[in-house]
Structure 1
Amino acid sequence: MSAPVSVPASKDMASQDTAGAREFRAGDGTARQRAATWWRKNRLWIAVGAALAAVTVGGLAASLLGGQSADPLSITNPAPSGGQAAASVLREQGVQVTATDSLDATRRALAAGGPGGSTVLVYDPLSLLEPAQAARLAASAKDAAAAVVALAPGPLTVKNLGPDIASAGTAAATDSSTGVAAGPGCANRDAAAAARIDVRGVDGIGAAGSPSLLLYRGAATCFAPAGGTAGFMAVNRAGDVTVLGSPGVISNERLASQGNAALTFRLLGSRPHLIWYTASLRDVPAASHAPTLAELTPRWIFPASAWLLLVALIGMLWRGRRHGPLVTEPLPVIVKASETVTGRARLYQDAKAQDTAVETLQRATLTRLAQRLRLGTGAAPSAVVDAAAAHTGRPREDLEALLITDIPLNDKQMLAMAAQMAALEEEVAPR
């Protein structure tokens, strides 16, 4: 026999230590080590999130601190549809530019205007101004000896700003396909200095095509399309009200095109003060009280309702059922037996109750057979079947099935059984 091999104790302890070192234990390491491990795993996503947050906060801060706006033709909007370029150039030339967003603020600015007079730029893209408000603005500008420049005003606004200026519709697409209007075609010095203007639409200011380009007629009608009598610019007799049918002329995108800059700066920079008025929801008058149901109801609803009611009444009288006088009949009413039988048969037919109808026929046939065979009305069905079988010589089983047990499945079988019962009665007591 070979002697057992003994393993040194030191090797056993080393193997146990190695196994213990390879065993995973949750929560190993200090808090600092766990934090370092978590940071190595998530630092990329943390950096991306921090960058996005910084960009968002920076953009918001720049917008708020810089006072930038996204509104069309705003003096703080640097986008192509804004008006910051024109306002900045005018300020560099010494013109005081004040932005207002309500009629009341504009009238206060007019009343507080300094020496040299003011110019009011009126832009109402949503057509919020009512005719009465346009008339008040014109009166305030006249009292302050201010000039008015209106951008694409509506027909009623034009009529109240300058009575001798009228709207003449919109320009066709072919009229502005090149983006350059014809020569001034009028004696106005500002139009003559511009010579030619770019009237193309700008994205963000109405539509980018001709539907946003309006035409006018006035004491001086300028920049008329080829073959037309109305132009993109019109001036009243006094020369203090000017309407411009293309708002994009003063936009950042079109200001440097053709003679737009010359026309813009001559119209808006002729006086030391410029009030840049953009109509807003503040110009919508607030209701003094909540509207009632009668105020919200259209005026035509009451006449229409009365007319419909009258038509309905006439239709009821015309097509309504007319009841005649009551017919008296002595009681009790006598009904023929045949009518009762027919009525019950129709009820059974409508209910498809073949079994009930056949049971009624079987009981009636058994009763009549018992009477004809002199068994009495109280005889049992089996006794009647026995007597009928003896009298006719038919098999008892057939008569029992016919008079007691058989139930038809359809109308055809029921009619056949009724005919067989009638034939049996004829055979028992021939008439």
Structure 2
Amino acid sequence: MTVPGPTLQPLASSASDADQRPPASTAAPRPRGRTGRILGWVFVIALLIGIALLATRFVAAAPELGGTLNPESPGPSGAKALAEIVRQQGTDIEITRSRTQAEAMIGTDTTLVLTDPLALSDEAALQLVESADRVVILTSSSRMLRLLDLGETVFNADAVDAQCNLPEFSRVGDIDATRLFTPAAGVDGCFRDSAGDAAVLRTSQEGRTLTLLEGGSLLSNEHLAENGNAALGLALLAQTDHVVWYVPSFQDTDRSDDAPDTLGTLTPDWVTPAILLLLLAGLAAIWWRGRRFGALVAESLPVTVRASETMHGRARLTAKAADAPHAAEAIRAGTQTRLATRLALSPRATAQEVADAASDRLGVPRGSLYDLLGGPLPQSDRDLIDLARKLAELETAVENTVHTERNRP
């Protein structure tokens, strides 16, 4: 029977159109929105602006000298607790950060308290000390020891008691000193150790009483409640009705030529231009490599890559990298999958489950199969070859037992 011509014509036309039609694209369509890209650029620009602002603030501020034994600081290194205890004994404490104000506040029955005035020159420091009849220096500064000729610092540390003839220290008891001194000639030393070194130095110069100790480890807020530290602080500061406490600062300095250098003054002049140049280079690199000329075009991929080619390519890469553990892991995974199929297990069966089934089938100890399928990976090519040979033998043995059972009548 002959099929009429008019019936064939539409079929032929449809086939021809199908041959001329371009193959379907395998690329997934991408969203054409620009919001994510704009937000990314905004983040990059904001980050660069932040880096530029940090570069312009490269000059560091001068450190604060008044943190240690500051009578207004409640921190661990401050001395606010000592100041409050002294006030409770009826002593008036005035705190100042100006050398001229401190000299003006000092009267006839006044105790001057200070740490090492680093911002003052030697002449200004001596002038400040000489303005008071009673001075307590809460520092172990070598400069103050030299200027006042009190002695030398030693680095012994021990628990000591008063062991001196000064009556105000008779009830202090033991203190745990971390810095001791060797008194100079004519200087009394209190709280001595067995070697004769003292924690407190006391001397009288031209009718002026000078006392020096390392107060950071004895009179700070952190250590005031230990041993007899609080009693020592009262013995030092509560002997008069008026105390002037000078807190040093870099703003109150008489030095002009040798002002303390900051990070900005120590930085070479080329650092800031170099930072700006790097920022500009980074912007140029982002604009060059990060720009896009439009949306991605979806194109067809008619090329078919065989699975064997992919397998051989990965094998060559693994061999070139000499990655025996990775290759052994891949061989084990393939063997485990094939054994699971032959032993009627799930494709997701674990190595222990496969080893149990193979052990039951072959009648061999389970421990040896556990090590073979899930033990440590080989680290050399020789161990890798040995593992591959054993896995192949295991597959062959399982395959033979499966075929034997199928051939039984």
Normalization by structure 2: what TM-score? 0.43
Higher RCO (Cα < 8 Å, 6 or more apart):
2
Greater radius of gyration (CA):
1
